């Protein structure tokens, strides 16, 4: 013999199992990534609706406050749906479909 060690054959069975496990793990991680992205989108959509409702209620409240300022200065009528009880004023402000500020 020429002094070289004989080469060990590559164990294709073990290598195939390792590669299969890696591919399965990558597929699971890809699936988890997609589920996470869908969850993030759903959360962002709910947050957007909340932000829109918050902005609409803020706008409605500011408009009522401006009308109330005009009334208290003596230059305008009492804002719509506002009840005066001495020095106390109460109202219900509709800012969206079936949503009111009290």
CA distance 35 to 13: 33
Tens of each residue's pLDDT in the chain, 102 residues = 566 777 777 667 888 999 999 999 999 999 999 999 999 999 999 999 999 988 988 898 899 999 999 999 988 999 888 898 988 999 888 777 777 766
Handedness of CA 7, 13, 18, 23 (dihedral sign): positive
Listed in sequence order, the residues at least 6 apart from 46 whose beta carbon sits closer than 8 Å to its beta carbon are none
Question: Can you give the pLDDT at residue 65?
Answer: 92
Which tens digits make up the pLDDT trace of 70-90? 999 988 999 888 898 988 999
Question: Can you give the pLDDT at residue 101?
Answer: 67
Listed in sequence order, the residues at least 6 apart from 81 whose beta carbon sits closer than 8 Å to its beta carbon are 91, 92, 93
CA distance 97 to 102: 15
Q: What's the N-to-C CA distance of the chain in angstroms? A: 98
Listed in sequence order, the residues at least 6 apart from 76 whose beta carbon sits closer than 8 Å to its beta carbon are 67, 70
Question: Can you give the pLDDT at residue 6?
Answer: 77
User: So where are the chain's domains?
Assistant: 55-102
Question: Can you give the pLDDT at residue 54?
Answer: 87
Question: Can you give the pLDDT at residue 2?
Answer: 65
């Amino acid at each position: 013999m020429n002094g070289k060690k004989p080469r060990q054959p590559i164990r294709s069975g073990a290598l195939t199992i390792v590669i299969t496990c890696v591919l399965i793990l990558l597929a699971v991680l890809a699936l988890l990534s997609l589920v996470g992205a869908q969850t993030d989108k759903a959360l962002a959509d709910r947050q957007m609706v909340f932000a829109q409702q918050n902005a609409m209620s803020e706008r409605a409240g500011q408009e009522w406050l401006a009308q109330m300022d005009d009334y208290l200065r003596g230059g305008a009528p009492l804002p719509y749906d506002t009840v005066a009880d001495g020095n106390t004023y109460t109202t219900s402000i509709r800012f969206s479909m079936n949503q009111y500020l009290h």
